[in-house]
Amino acid sequence: MANFGETRRSAFGRAQAAQHYATTLLGLNAADRHRKLVNDYLTYYARGAPGQPGGPPAEEPRTVRSDADALREHHRFIRTDQDDGDHGWEARLAKRYYDRLFKEYAIVDLSFYKESRLGMRWRTQKEVVSGKGQFVCGAKGCEAADGLCSYEVNFAYQEAGERKQALVKLRVCPACAFKLNYRKEKQLQKAVDAAAARKRKREREEAAALETADPLVREALQYVKRYTAGDTAAGEGAAGEGGLGEEDLLRAARDVAPPPAAAGGGGGSSGAGGAAGAGGAAGSGPAPAIITLPADNSVWESKPAQETATAEEEMDAYFEGLFM
pLDDT for res 303: 54
The yes-or-no verdict on residue 197 having pLDDT over 90 is: yes
Q: pLDDT averaged over the chain?
A: 76
Any domain includes 16: no
Q: Structurally, how many domains does the chain consist of?
A: 2
pLDDT for res 277: 42
Task: Give the domain-ending residue among 140, 157, 180.
Answer: 180
Same domain, 169 and 223: no
The yes-or-no verdict on residue 113 having pLDDT over 50 is: yes
Any domain includes 281: yes
With bands split at pLDDT 50, 70 and 90, how would you rate the model's confidence at 166? very high
Asked if 287 contacts 262 with a C-beta cutoff of 8 angstroms, the reply is yes
Same domain, 175 and 219: no
Same domain, 142 and 228: no
Any domain includes 201: no
Same domain, 144 and 215: no
Any domain includes 174: yes
Any domain includes 147: yes
Same domain, 220 and 276: yes
Same domain, 175 and 237: no
Same domain, 109 and 165: yes
Tell me the residue range of the domain where 261 lies.
211-291
Same domain, 216 and 171: no
Asked if 160 contacts 76 with a C-beta cutoff of 8 angstroms, the reply is yes
Range scoring the smallest mean pLDDT among 93-102, 191-200, 266-275 = 266-275
Asked if 180 contacts 107 with a C-beta cutoff of 8 angstroms, the reply is no
- Please tell me which residue, 245 or 317, carries the higher pLDDT value: 317
- Please tell me which residue, 227 or 287, carries the higher pLDDT value: 227
Asked if 238 contacts 244 with a C-beta cutoff of 8 angstroms, the reply is yes
pLDDT for res 279: 43
Same domain, 170 and 216: no
| Residues 26-85: tens digit of each pLDDT | 777 888 888 888 888 877 776 666 666 666 666 666 677 888 888 888 889 998 888 888
Residue of 180, 175, 131 lying closest to 155 (CA atoms): 180
pLDDT for res 37: 83
| Residues 5-17: tens digit of each pLDDT | 788 888 888 888 7
Any domain includes 305: no
Same domain, 282 and 238: yes
Same domain, 162 and 93: yes
| Residues 261-306: tens digit of each pLDDT | 544 444 444 444 443 344 444 444 554 545 555 555 555 555 555 5
Any domain includes 127: yes
The CA distance from 318 to 315, in Å, is 5
Any domain includes 250: yes
Same domain, 171 and 217: no
Predicted TM-score of the model (pTM): 0.46
